[in-house]
Amino acid sequence: MSPFNLETCARPNILALEPYRCARDDYKDDGTNILLDANENAYGPPLPSSSSSSPLSGPTIDLATLHRYPDPHQHRLKQLLCNLRTSNPSAPVLTPDHLFVGVGSDEAIDALLRCFCVPSRDRILVCPPTYGMYSVSAQVNDVSLVRVPLLPAPGFGLDVPAILSALSGPGSETIKLAYFCSPGNPTGTRLSPADVRAVLAHPTWNGVVVVDEAYVDFCADPDADGNPASLAEWVAAYPNLVVMQTLSKAFGLAGVRLGVAFASAPVARLLNSLKAPYNISSLTAAVAEWALGEQGLAKMRENRERLLEQRERMVRELPRIQGVGRLRGGLDSNFLLYEMLDREGKPDNATALAVYERLAENKGVVVRFRGKEHGCLGCLRITVGTEEEVTRFLEALEKTLAEVRGTAAP
């Protein structure tokens, strides 16, 4: 018999790993479910479907060239991304040298850990509640966490004094990365640019601030203070800043898995040096380039406006449903974070979990239970869907809440 023993052969941190989970680990899609759990763009990608009568032309993909490896540098794709995030076209500050593109933002999250953190020694700072892959990737890389919770709801802002303190005290030299999600997930709240700047300006900390802007295209641009929605152009001024984005959300291209990290040219060079060769397929690049072109951008913005209309509708109608509590997060994303209330009118995890389960099992509507996240007691995170999906969700939620709270008519 082979002496192989998985328990002693595999790395201990991997054996102990709790992988990232989503609602679809619990509820498989049979094609009839309303999927309001993963913050996808319910109106789909800015591409014409094969059955569409749309006048839009589609991306040109030469299938005869697929025997060749894809472009390893993606200069055209990177330039289009620079154009997208350039506020002053006559004086652009971003060039393809400022970019890393990867298989979703998750590749950038992992690449930064491998680039800056020594396993079993270094740490990263995160601000819960936040995106779960920061901690999963850290554990995969045998990197520890320093947790500085966000300020209480509904603001969910950075606790700047606590963060600065964590980056100043004994052992702070081992904190190499600080991951900030803006707009936050699951909070839906954009972080204050002034707060991010305060961390970037820390006088002694030698580390990198990573701002994850997956949902940035759903923010007001500019904000009330005149700041652009994205901080991408800041990377030209701050060598210790990385700004991550994705085409999975506003662009509706979750299926092509294209993420991007804007960084100073030296940091981008490091990330590109350690990536796998040919990490972006020719098919992904062609679709992404088309989506970032004139026709694709126009369609993306049209779909975004439709989603924002449904978001406003949900904010109007959800409070009218008995058992729905407060909106706990912000209005800067394509999802909403709402409390579910027990019969005494208090936010309650048992109620929220029961609603989550019954919506999926009995109504075919899948949302996301977030009640175990810091500051999210009794909360469900609900992705904004199409008009028809929102109608079905609102009807299903009202009936389900009445059943769970024992107030349904006999």
Candidates 221, 390, 212; CA nearest to 307 is 390
34 and 166, same domain (yes or no): no
Q: Domain ends where: 239, 265, 294? A: 294
227 and 192, same domain (yes or no): yes
211 and 324, same domain (yes or no): no
Q: Domain ends where: 294, 323, 351? A: 294
Overall domain count for the chain: 2
Residue 147 in contact with residue 124, Cβ under 8 Å? no
Mean pLDDT per 10-residue run, the chain (410 residues)? 67 70 63 81 77 57 81 94 91 94 95 93 97 95 96 95 95 95 97 96 94 96 82 95 96 94 94 91 93 94 96 97 96 97 96 96 94 97 96 97 78
Within a domain: residue 4? Answer: no
Within a domain: residue 121? Answer: yes
| CATH value at residue 308 | 3.90.1150.10
> Between β-strands 208-212 and 175-181, what pairing exists: parallel, antiparallel or unpaired?
parallel
290 and 303, same domain (yes or no): no
Within a domain: residue 50? Answer: no
Q: What is the pLDDT of residue 19?
A: 61
- CA-CA-CA-CA torsion sign (144, 150, 156, 159): negative
> Which runs of consecutive H residues, i.e. helices, occur in 221-348?
265-274, 282-291, 294-317
Q: Domain ends where: 248, 270, 294? A: 294
Q: What is the pLDDT of residue 49?
A: 65
Within a domain: residue 182? Answer: yes
Q: What is the pLDDT of residue 384?
A: 97
252 and 265, same domain (yes or no): yes
Candidates 177, 338, 323, 327; CA nearest to 263 is 177
Within a domain: residue 248? Answer: yes
Within a domain: residue 54? Answer: no
Within a domain: residue 58? Answer: no
13 and 32, same domain (yes or no): yes
Q: Is 278 left (phi over 0), alpha (psi -120 to 50) or beta?
A: left
39 and 89, same domain (yes or no): no
Per the structure, the complete domain to which residue 128 belongs is given by: 70-294
Cα–Cα distance for residue pair 338/356, rounded to 1 Å: 12
| CATH value at residue 89 | 3.40.640.10
Tell me the β-bridge partners of 339: 379
- What is the DSSP code (8-state) at residue 294? H
Q: What is the pLDDT of residue 68?
A: 86
266 and 325, same domain (yes or no): no
334 and 230, same domain (yes or no): no
Within a domain: residue 195? Answer: yes
CB-count burial class (<10 Å; 0-12, 13-18, 19+) for 360: buried
160 and 237, same domain (yes or no): yes
